[in-house]
Amino acid sequence: MHFISGLPRSGSTLLAALLRQNPRCEAGMSGPLAGLFGALLGEMSARNEFSVFIDDAKRQRILHGLFDNFYADCDAEVIFDTNRAWCAWMPAIVQLFPAAKVIACVRDLPWVIDSIERIIQRNVFSPSSIFNYTAGGTVYTRANGVAAQNGMVGAPFDALKQACYGAQRDRLLLVQYETLTTDPAKTMHAIYAFLGEPPFEHDFDHIDYDVTEFDDRAGTPGLHTVGGTVKAQPRDTLLPPDLFHRFVHDAFWRDPRNIPDGLRVV
């Protein structure tokens, strides 16, 4: 059991689509397990009057069983569960799955914000679940919303920093979107080496992963669309200069002085 986490709009769906090419692997877009995990922990806490009958050993068995049952019909030898919340659960992951590793997809924050804004402006007649299906607003209100501490970008960013500087950072590999899209072969080789898995020859020109129905229901067509070929696509930003530069220095993983011992970045 391994995990894919990190920042939104940073290549996690593309990475999952590539891993799915390997017959040994099962991977996909963000799923429900992290939410169920948190809900179960809450229900087994002291706020439940019957929690006196639940000790940590029972909690651990119940939470492990959540994964066992969710993937009971999966024949893959290596399973990757994807959710941006997993970086916040690193201590629990290590206890539940001592051999598990976490791959965190990262990207320069201005381009994460830009990518979200691009989807919103492309689907002007379809209010998005990202903003609770609320129409209107400006690029500034939307950027402030997703970058907030509990926002779509802000919360995973804080969880990422916690994981990077935490005691379990030796279980973590940061995969930069820029590296994945410009040199996918190097990136996948690094991932397999990190996991201790045998290398696999991927087809970077024919990527197939379609979750159109999910994206349409969320009011964000194209949110998880993966292009047929892995390649970098340079473009101008939609963000005003002052907004773009607000986030330009947040990529702490690019500064060797900010990378703690034991943390790997590709």
Residue with tokens 């969880």: 159
3-state secondary structure 225-262: CCCCCCCCCCCCCCCCHHHHHHCCCCCHHHCHHHCCCC
Backbone φ and ψ of 257, nearest 5°? -70, -20
What confidence tier does 227 reach under pLDDT thresholds 50, 70, 90?
low
Average pLDDT, the chain: 90
Q: From residue 125, how far is each of 82, 216, 218, 264 by CA, in Å? A: 29, 12, 13, 42
Query: What does the pLDDT look like over 131-186, one tens digit per residue?
Result: 777 877 899 999 999 999 999 999 999 999 999 999 999 999 999 999 999 999 99
pLDDT > 70 in the chain, percent: 93
